[in-house]
Structure 1
């Protein structure tokens, strides 16, 4: 408790010391996690999630591990971020409204990002739009460990795909739901496997495959900034596409009650520095392989 109070004191001391950097900043309207998921379920809308990596690619101000800078991608990310559609919801990080969602250690990082980037992002964000919460699928690691809402958010996500045929669009080593029960209540699972890095270079090929295999299905997407753009484009074609990002690793860490970002069997995660193995357990490999309807490679 004493350490937590010290951290809180330090965070707010830094918050007020750096207020000059945020002079003129006005928080944006952002739904909470539950409201975001409920809107997706009740209105059958698609969502695109913007995180710090997407913002860096959008503003062409930095590199990210899974995607090289690409001017066309930057243009497309700006287009989607500024879009308005009844079939689609743009989601941004909740720290653009407030910091209370996060555990203390993460608040420092968010504050620093906001201080250094809000003026760069200002032309692409709107105060007359109510955003979804991009952290909805980040329900465990960045939140306080005793967050009582975590299980409720997980159950809402499971309600989203309950009794539905789903198509998962993911990177080569993402393997959503493999080895856990995250999707046990859906009707069926198919997968399109894409390169783990620089997938945007194959955008048209991937998009056409999703059009072919995703009709009348709930499309769950874990493909970085490519998914951010594609969820919107699919929504305009009448498809239901939900960018869920790192939901699988958050769920596994939740089950493990992990205190650090540890490796997950059968995955290679860009947020984990430890040695990782991509080998899938024999217990799950046949079901995984049989779910793949298309593998897209360079």
Structure 2
């Protein structure tokens, strides 16, 4: 059990008060994407030796606190992360294995990340562009527990950082109940920057092999920034766009599915948030190959062109951000 003396608590409050006072004196702040960002120092801290000394003390104190918090985090999540690691080692394909599966077979793919897991398992969780509902939760569970041999269910790559250890600490006891011990899961991060940073040109070649010479339909939200960049997509035989709603796409799936059914495409590529995985599952069940590829183009450009990561780009051309 971790506890603090009254004197230690008072000292922490004194340190926080000193940080606040120094910040108020020297930082110029502007608001970017609704968050305060320190952009300048005015006056320069080098002009005041006392400020320099205080900031060094604050910096050292924060480093110490960070090390202590990291130790606590590792200890608190150790048991859960060992469980997740074992599951991942035994049942989740690697990035390369997943891409080779997609490139050499006709399986469809639905991907799950922390957003889909939280929508599926937490009644009060919503995304900015997708409101939760009992119907959405049920559909996500149906996808995640699907035993359709023509559908690869994507599970996140294993990360042990604060974000993902927190996700699993919160969700794993319920999530593991939905997994099947005899099921092999794809790696959901094949559409993320990790695929290109890890596999380089090999990832590009395998993705291009998936749709080489095929007639493709792209399903995405109206106003989406999804881009058929030539580095990935200039080998399509043809393409058409089918647009859904940029927000709340789950409620539009019946209409979109009907439009896809009327298309003569050979492959459907979907960039539609959590609704995309559900649509891929539906289309696979109807005999149409569909891949939930999310931010694939953004991921390529992040790794090979230094563009912002997918979550830092706008969902639509009017500037709505990913979350």
TM norm. shorter chain > 0.5: yes
The answer to whether 1:190 aligns with 2:252 is: no
Quick one: higher RCO (CA 8 Å, sep 6+), 1 or 2? 1
How far 1:41 sits from its partner (Å)? 2.3
Query: Which of 149, 170, 173 is the aligned partner of 1:86?
Result: 149
Q: Any idea what SS the aligned residue of 1:118 has?
A: helix
How far 1:126 sits from its partner (Å)? 2.0
Contact 2:314 2:321 in 1 (8 A): no
Query: Between Structure 1 and Structure 2, which shows a larger proportion of helix residues?
Result: 2
Question: Distance between the aligned counterparts of 1:207 and 1:71, measured in 2?
Answer: 21
Contact 2:269 2:293 in 1 (8 A): yes
How far 1:20 sits from its partner (Å)? 4.6
Would the alpha carbon gap of residues 264 and 150 (structure 1) be closer, same or farther in structure 2, given more than 3 Å must change?
farther
Would the alpha carbon gap of residues 78 and 185 (structure 1) be closer, same or farther in structure 2, given more than 3 Å must change?
same
Q: Any idea what SS the aligned residue of 1:157 has?
A: helix
Would the alpha carbon gap of residues 191 and 113 (structure 1) be closer, same or farther in structure 2, given more than 3 Å must change?
same
Question: Distance between the aligned counterparts of 1:57 and 1:167, measured in 2?
Answer: 27
The answer to whether 1:60 aligns with 2:122 is: yes
- CA deviations over 1:13-71 (Å, ceiling 9, x no partner): 74344325558655241011121121122221101001111111111341112200111
- CA deviations over 1:184-212 (Å, ceiling 9, x no partner): 11111110011111011122111111111
Q: Which residue of 1 aligns with 2:105?
A: 43
Unpaired stretches in structure 2, ≥5 consecutive residues: 1-65
Q: Any idea what SS the aligned residue of 2:226 has?
A: coil
Contact 1:249 1:264 in 2 (8 A): no
How far 1:12 sits from its partner (Å)? 7.6
Matches within 5 A, 1:18-167: 18-20=77-79, 26-28=86-88, 29-61=91-123, 62-95=125-158, 99=159, 107-140=161-194, 147-167=197-217
The answer to whether 1:206 aligns with 2:269 is: no
Q: Any idea what SS the aligned residue of 1:86 has?
A: coil
Contact 2:225 2:314 in 1 (8 A): no
How far 1:254 sits from its partner (Å)? 2.1
Q: Any idea what SS the aligned residue of 2:246 has?
A: coil
Unpaired stretches in structure 1, ≥5 consecutive residues: 1-6, 101-106, 273-298
Paired residues, what number? 252
When structure 1 is superposed on structure 2, of 126-135 and 12-21 the one drifting more is 12-21
Would the alpha carbon gap of residues 259 and 139 (structure 1) be closer, same or farther in structure 2, given more than 3 Å must change?
closer
Would the alpha carbon gap of residues 173 and 181 (structure 1) be closer, same or farther in structure 2, given more than 3 Å must change?
farther
When structure 1 is superposed on structure 2, of 62-71 and 246-255 the one drifting more is 246-255
* TM-score (normalizing by structure 1): 0.75
* TM-score (normalizing by structure 2): 0.70
RMSD of aligned C-alpha atoms?
2.9
- CA deviations over 1:59-117 (Å, ceiling 9, x no partner): 1341112200111111011011111122111111122xxx38xxxxxx22111111121
